[in-house]
Amino acid sequence: MTAVHTGSCLCGAVRYEVRGLLRDSIACHCSQCRKTSGHYWSATQAKTADLHLLEGRGLRWFRSSGIAQRGFCQHCGSSLFWRPDGADTTSIGSGTLDGPSGPCATSTLPTKATTSISHRLWRSGRRAGPASLPGGS
Ligand SMILES: [Zn+2]
Ligand SMILES: [Zn+2]
C-alpha cells in the first residue's frame, strides 16, 4: 500500500499530497536555503509525479539559481518546494508536512559549501555529511 502524506503552507493557500515514498530529510545550510527560510532548510524529497496539489492558489515559483526554482506561498510566505531543472524529483520542506514530519534529518550540508556543490548533491539524492563533501572545509 502506498503511503499518503499531506502538507500545507501556514495559511492553507497551498496544500499538497504525496502518494509515494519520502526521502529522509536533509538539513541544508547553504546561503540560499538560509536566505529563503531565515535559518537552515530541512527538506524531504519525493518524485514530482507523486506530488499532487490539493490547493494551489497561493503557489508561486521563484527562480533562485541557474539550476532550480523554489515554490512558496504568495500569501503567507511559507517556503515549500525546491525543484531542480530537468529532475523528476521535488524537495519538500519537512516542516510543511502535516503532523509529525516523519523523516528525520539524517545528514546536513555545511555552511561553507558553495550553493552549487550542495545543491548538486541534493539533486543527485546523495546523502552527504560534511566530511564527504568535495572541498568542504
Ligand atoms: Zn500560505
Ligand atoms: Zn541549500
Using CA atoms in the order 21, 86, 52, 61, what is the torsion angle rounded to 10 degrees? Answer: 130
Region 40-54 average pLDDT? 96
Decide yes or no: CATH 2.170.150.70 for domain 4-125.
Answer: yes
Q: Could you say which ligand is closest to the alpha carbon of residue 26? A: 2
Instruction: Give residue 93 CA to ligand 1 midpoint distance, Å.
Output: 13
The pLDDT value recorded for residue 69 is: 97
Residue 105 — very low, low, confident or very high, per pLDDT cuts 50/70/90? Answer: low
Q: Where in the chain are the domains? A: 4-125
pTM score of the predicted model: 0.78
Burial 118-127 (b: 16+ CB within 10 A, else e): bbebbbeeee
Distance 42 CA to ligand 1 centre (A): 18
Q: How much distance in Å is there from the Cα of 6 to the middle of ligand 1?
A: 15
Q: What is the DSSP letter of 21?
A: -
Q: What is the pLDDT of residue 83?
A: 97
In this predicted model, what pLDDT tens digit does every residue of 108-124 receive, in sequence order?
A: 665 554 455 556 655 65
